[in-house]
Chain A
Amino acid sequence: GAVVSQHPSWVICKSGTSVKIECRSLDFQATTMFWYRQFPKQSLMLMATSNEGSKATYEQGVEKDKFLINHASLTLSTLTVTSAHPEDSSFYICSARPPGQDIEKLFFGSGTQLSVL
């Protein structure tokens, strides 16, 4: 089946630095990818929708200047957490859907655990 690869699986960084997370669709082209975040004991929340060749669409309350999304190709989207702070420590997951497929054909990466010291 379709696979979405996400790297790194975990990262520890110092406060004030930037961290980049990659999300790749391995065997299909994804014009749209989704980025989610999950804080401990909370729901998996959609942060933004990444659109190939255009600007990402951010959910209400998500700072677009802090969470930079680049969807430069049909198989790669990146999320950069800029000037990370301890409150950004969270579990980040990406997902992608083959074009024209229903929402049930959503494939997920294995997630990135970010810890900001």
Chain B
Amino acid sequence: GDSVTQMEGPVTLSEEAFLTINCTYTATGYPSLFWYVQYPGEGLQLLLKATKADDKGSNKGFEATYRKETTSFHLEKGSVQVSDSAVYFCALSKGYQKVTFGTGTKLQVIP
């Protein structure tokens, strides 16, 4: 079945550091790929998405590129802030079907 693998956390970075959270997937067909973010005490929120190969999703300074050849969708941000501290989930979906999530990666940014 479909699956998503993302790097284990927690990831601790200093403010303004470069962030990469790795995500790879296994799926048949052509899934859409997502990154969700969960801030403390809140529900998961869609951060960005990409629906086909080579698409780049971006939002709030975060970017991820849909790489079909490496089945990856790594999340990057050039300069993290303390307010980016949260748990990040990589996910995939096909059409209206269920969403398959990774394990989540906790990011802690220290001043």
- B-contacting residues of A (Cβ < 8 Å)? 4, 6, 9, 34, 36, 38, 41-46, 49, 93, 95, 102-104, 106-111
Most chain B beta-carbon contacts within 10 A, residue among A4, A9, A106: A106
Interface residues on B, range: 20 to 34
Number of cross-chain contacts by CB at 8 Å = 53
Q: Is the CB of B43 within 8 A of A44?
A: no
Among the listed stretches B12-20, B62-70, B75-83, B93-101, which one makes contact with chain A, having 4 or more residues with CB under 8 Å of it? B93-101
Q: Write out the residue numbers on chain B whose beta carbons fall within 8 Å of the beta carbon of A4.
A: 43
B10 nearest CB across to chain A (Å) = 11
Q: Is B54 an interface residue (CB 8 A)?
A: no
Across the interface, B32 reaches (CB within 8 A) one of A42, A95, A103, namely A103
* 5 residue pairs bridging A and B, Cβ less than 8 Å apart: A42-B103, A43-B101, A43-B102, A44-B104, A104-B32
